[in-house]
A and B are shown apart, each in its own frame.
Chain A
Amino acid sequence: MIWQQLQSLAGSYPLALRGLGMTVLLSLISLVLGTLLGFALGILRTGGNRLISGLIGAWVDLIRGTPFLVQIFLIFFILPEFGIELDAFTAGIIALTNLAACFICEIVVAGIRSVPTGQVEAALASGLSRWQRMRQVVLPQAMRIVLPPLVGQYVLLIKDSSVVSAIGLTDLTRVGWLVVQRVPNGLLVFFLVGAGYFIVCYPLIMLARRLEQRMGAAHGEVQL
């Protein structure tokens, strides 16, 4: 029984590779775009303008507070009613980028706010411009707070990308669902799907550890 299932699974590897490819591609594009957008939103949000800050805050709340499935539905199925017709891949990228940006925005905001105000004031007093202040004083320190949850967020987003199967993209999770129709062993099939995600996510987690160690040299060493 299990041999027969394993054989059948082995035959499905081209499909699995295609699914893995789709997951990687979607995640890669939307994480890069989402990081850029997320940092921009985070910096704007902590900037002085109340209106901009409020608008971004409301948007972030809306996206963080609703299921991703619903967001992707709105983009793919409802936007056409307003004349915006997107193919599934583009819709998936837009939805994922937006989601990533909103979560990253919050992380960046928390990081920026963790920098003591005295430092910003000192930078102000020493005549640094707004941009210099951000780049040379605030961000480097904020990064220490930002980095660990940021990479954690990446990993979450890679896994969230599985929701795109609702709009017809065949990603790794979807392949799992397709294969389980022929090889009816949920445990085995989704163990393999899990292994696929592990291959993608684990290097990222290792990278985060490295970065964290390098940046946290002056900090930490708090032993319990």
Chain B
Amino acid sequence: MKIARLFIAGRLFIAGLALAGLTAAASAGTLDDITKRGELRVAVQTQGPPFSLVGANGERTGSSVELAELMAKEMGVKITFLDFDWDGLIPALLSGKADLLVADMTPTLARGMKVAFTTPYMYTGSTVFTKADSKFKTTEDCKAKGTKIAVLLGATGEKEAKNAFPDADIKSYKGGGPLLLDAVNNGQADCGVNDVSAVKGQSTAYPAGTFTIMPDLLSKEPLAFATRYDEPDLLIWMNLFLNQVTIDGRLQKNLDYWVNSDAWKKDH
């Protein structure tokens, strides 16, 4: 009883806060705001190549970063990147610090309850990788009881690994895909599970042949950009943008350079 009453009190308090916030929310469309501001604020997560990375001189680049830059160019405004770590990324979007979110993020239905995802602009999937000279040669080998499997905390690969390797010992790391490779390379984990494009892009930092990347995918996953549900105009525009760059081939060009090959390696 007491707890229920506490909850009601809490809800009332929060409802009061919401009322206070309402006046700020009632403004013109987001696209108008962006035009007036002359600036598109994009939250990015620097989780590593090929989607988002920081070059040696501190310049931000990567597949999603270039797509966001293209977006700003088409809008005719300048772009401001807000670089949050994983903990700050979602709050940045929800609190309105950023207009949209560009990261290698899977639009799950649970997440879609909170933020508005665009239509997927590419498909990828989780793959398994191991150290080349280890006794783990295939995905099947990693299913053995007690195998240590490195995954990224909070990433969709974490759930898939739990389903695919029910007997294994799943270890969730924070800090980005390269650390999974590091853990497998150092022997803290036997196998790693992460997005295939990320694994391919990030393993190039090691000598060729360090890792075995399994050809089979654990799942097929879309990637999409995200914005808020209170910015429907921006969401419509972002979908229009993705449609446009798909038709005129600019999306394919971006993906071919960054994701489908390691052509970017020699420039960055």
List residues of A whose CB falls within 8 A of some B CB. Answer: 1, 8, 11-12, 14-15, 18, 69, 73, 76-78, 80-83, 165-168, 170, 174, 177-186
Contact = CB atoms under 8 A, between A and B. Distances in A.
Given A165-B85, A167-B88, A177 B17 contact: no
A168 B83 contact: yes
Given A165-B85, A177-B46, A178-B46, A184 B182 contact: yes
A81 B178 contact: no
Contacts of A181: 46-49, 53-54, 176-178, 202
B249 interface: no
Contacts of B24: 80-81, 83
Contacts, number: 98
A166 B96 CA distance: 15
A194 to B, nearest CB: 16
Given A8-B56, A77-B91, 9 more contacts: A18-B58, A73-B91, A81-B24, A83-B20, A168-B82, A181-B46, A181-B176, A182-B54, A186-B182
A211 B139 CA distance: 61
Interface in B199-215: 202, 205-207
Please list the 5 inter-chain residue pairs (A to B) with the smallest Cβ-Cβ separation, ordered nearest first: A184-B178, A181-B48, A11-B56, A77-B95, A166-B88
B193 interface: no
B205 A82 contact: no
A180 to B, nearest CB: 6
B53 A184 contact: no
A5 to B, nearest CB: 8
Nearest to B174: A177
B198 to A, nearest CB: 10
B18 to A, nearest CB: 8
Contacts of B97: 76-77, 80
Contacts of A182: 48-49, 53-56, 178, 205
B149 interface: no
Contact of B179 (A11, A82, A179, A184): A184
B21 A82 contact: yes
Interface in B170-197: 175-179, 181-182, 185
B57 interface: yes
B183 to A, nearest CB: 8
A1 B207 CA distance: 7
B87 interface: yes
Interface string B47-87: 11100011111100000000000000000000000111101
A8 B57 CA distance: 11
B92 interface: yes
B3 to A, nearest CB: 21
A185 B46 CA distance: 16
Nearest to B23: A83
Given A1-B206, A18-B58, A185-B182, A177 B85 contact: yes
A18 B185 CA distance: 30
Contacts of A15: 54, 56-58
A43 B53 CA distance: 48
Nearest to A1: B207
